[in-house]
């Protein structure tokens, strides 16, 4: 049931951020984080590459930003920011 999956955004290392589908144990996206950038800038870029309709996205404290939550909702996803 790929239309309704739990997922999370996480950092692989200091230069790559990815999206992970917990139910499937599958990485569904990665994006480089520039040396003069950070996760707050990279998360929206990564989210734009994903189909979020019907998905529940979890992001840790770094992603607890109003504009990130609004983007998830615009893409018709749900979120849990913790």
- Contact predicate 29/42, CB 8 Å: no
Span 46-75, pLDDT tens digits: 999 999 999 999 988 888 999 999 999 999
Letter string b/e over residues 26-39, b meaning 16 or more CB atoms within 10 A of that residue's CB: eebbebebeeeeeb
What is the pTM (predicted TM-score) of this model?
A: 0.76
């Amino acid at each position: 049931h790929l239309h309704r999956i739990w997922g999370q955004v996480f950092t692989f290392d200091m230069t790559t951020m990815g999206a992970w589908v917990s139910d499937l144990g599958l990485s569904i996206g990665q994006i480089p984080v520039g040396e003069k950038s950070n996760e707050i800038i990279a998360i929206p870029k990564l989210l734009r590459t994903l189909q979020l309709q019907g998905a529940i996205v979890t992001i840790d404290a770094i992603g607890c930003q109003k504009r990130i939550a609004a983007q998830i909702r615009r893409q018709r996803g749900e979120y849990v920011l913790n």
